[in-house]
Amino acid sequence: MITGMFPTSIGAHNHRSQQTVLKASGNSAYYPDHPVLRKHWAEYLNTWARMDLEVGRILKNLEEAGVARNTIVFFWTDHGLTHIRAKQFLYDEGIRIPLMVRFGNRRRAGTVCDDLLLQIDVAATSLALAGIDVPGSMQGQDFFAADYVPRKRIYAARDRCDETVDTIRCVRSKRFKYIRNFLSFMPHTQPNESKDHQPTLIAAKALYDEGKLNEAQNTAFAPTRAPEELYDLQSDPFETINLADDPRYADELKTLQRALYEQMVDSGDLGLVPEPILEEMGREHGNKAFVLQSTDNSQLVRRLIELMGAGQTCDRARLLAGLQSASAAERYWAATWLGLCGGTDAVGLLEEKLEDEEPAVRIAAALAMHRLGTTDGPTHVLIEATRDYNPLVGLYALRALEIAGVDDVSVRRTFAAARNHPYEFARRIANRVLQEP
């Protein structure tokens, strides 16, 4: 069984093979044709050839040990390069990976399947093949079962990666993919230490600054993102034509949006709860897994989805109501979006939240006031939060100071002190701002 592409070898040291890399991977649609990118992709694909050799050695060892005929081998990969649209993102370059299964008795040899599978299916399938009952609580499916029914849709998610806070969700059918960028007010390529030093990103960013990228290539570096993305994978397999605003696809968008939101609610997706707040909620309830079991929080995921939608449309009445919510997560996002939607009428209410009992809400209110042009009191609140006992509060406060862009002695001292912060990812922000390795 094979899903995805799995070329066995490709040259890396001649111009012709490097051109082949761009065309074969499809990335010429959204990556510039540049020597640095061609070389990087060629070197990456050349590792596939080396991996073939490694897998060959393993299979040979099984043969020599006399166990190959009763061994089932599963082969799948990580999610690719830390590239601009790959690993950590929800385009197919980041979530579609190869899966191969080899039966020792050559069962189903040569079969190719294009079903939508999840990695958790490997666990259920391997249990079943070993003769072990698959627990009813397991979400994975045995895709070799006689009663196996292929999924109509699969779901994927991205939250904070290293020091980069983000919240992206997607649902994919065989033909369409819907992506929801909940932090659409942030760029796709937010600062990230593990990515910022990649030659491909550096080269592409330089071309962007020089105005040499096309429309599809520009989107990765734009200051904001589309809140919703919809792609017809049949006609646009490289996801470059966003159909979210195309009225001809309105029904498909609504169907997939509804499916995604219901999945988030049904699965208890807490990704919209800012991490500093979720940490405290976990302590309060004994475990993060118990948070939604509280009566007060039973509808929290649905309320947060609705609130993020209100922020996207600048529904000020809903945001002002959210600012007074008993839920710290709702207060956080209400404050954030009020700062983004503009209008100084909210400054007074935001100022009250500088004394909120929840540090993360104070951070959100302070950054919102900075965005609205108020720079006095909020800076002190952010500086104080960098010293909070919860390291995630410090991370959020340092990032807020970076976004606010305040440059004075007290802020510089704060970043200098944060080079010794107990949390690695907070230290990364401090070092980035101070331009130190």
Could you write out the DSSP letters of every residue in 232-283?
A: ETTT-TT--S--TT-GGGHHHHHHHHHHHHHHHHHTT--TTS-HHHHHHHHH
CA–CA distance, 91 with 31 (Å, rounded to integer): 13
Give 437's pLDDT tier (boundaries 50, 70, 90). low
Calculate mean pLDDT across residues 363-370: 97
pLDDT at position 257 over 60: yes
Give 48's pLDDT tier (boundaries 50, 70, 90). confident
Give 44's pLDDT tier (boundaries 50, 70, 90). confident
66: left (phi over 0), alpha (psi -120 to 50) or beta: left
We find that the CATH architecture of domain 269-433 is Alpha Horseshoe (1.25)
Please state which of the ranges 73-82, 258-267, 286-295 shows the lowest mean pLDDT.
73-82
141, 147 Cβ separation under 8 angstroms: no
434, 425 Cβ separation under 8 angstroms: no
80: left (phi over 0), alpha (psi -120 to 50) or beta: left
Mean pLDDT of the chain: 91
For residue 9, the model assigns a pLDDT of 24
Query: How does pLDDT run across 183-195, given as a tens digit for each residue?
Result: 999 999 999 998 9
Show the tokens assigned to 132: 């072990």
Query: How does pLDDT run across 325-341, given as a tens digit for each residue?
Result: 999 999 999 999 999 99
| 358 or 3: which leads in pLDDT | 358
| 13 or 260: which leads in pLDDT | 260
Please state which of the ranges 82-91, 125-134, 166-175, 323-332 shows the lowest mean pLDDT.
82-91
In the block, which residue shows the tokens 């010794």? 420
195, 89 Cβ separation under 8 angstroms: no
Q: C-alpha angle 285/291/295, rounded to 5°?
A: 100
Strands (E), 84-167: 99-102, 154-158
139, 120 Cβ separation under 8 angstroms: yes
| 387 or 25: which leads in pLDDT | 387
Residue boundaries of the structural domains of the chain? 269-433
Calculate mean pLDDT across residues 164-168: 98
pLDDT at position 3 over 80: no
For residue 78, the model assigns a pLDDT of 86
CA–CA distance, 209 with 211 (Å, rounded to integer): 5
Length of the chain counted residue by residue: 437
Calculate mean pLDDT across residues 9-38: 55
Give 28's pLDDT tier (boundaries 50, 70, 90). low
Give 13's pLDDT tier (boundaries 50, 70, 90). very low
Give 22's pLDDT tier (boundaries 50, 70, 90). very low
Can you list the pairs that 108-112 forms with residues at least 24 positions away whose Cβ atoms lie under 8 Å? 108/1, 111/1, 111/2, 112/1, 112/2
For residue 18, the model assigns a pLDDT of 36
CA–CA distance, 359 with 394 (Å, rounded to integer): 10
For residue 417, the model assigns a pLDDT of 97
DSSP letter at 162? Answer: T
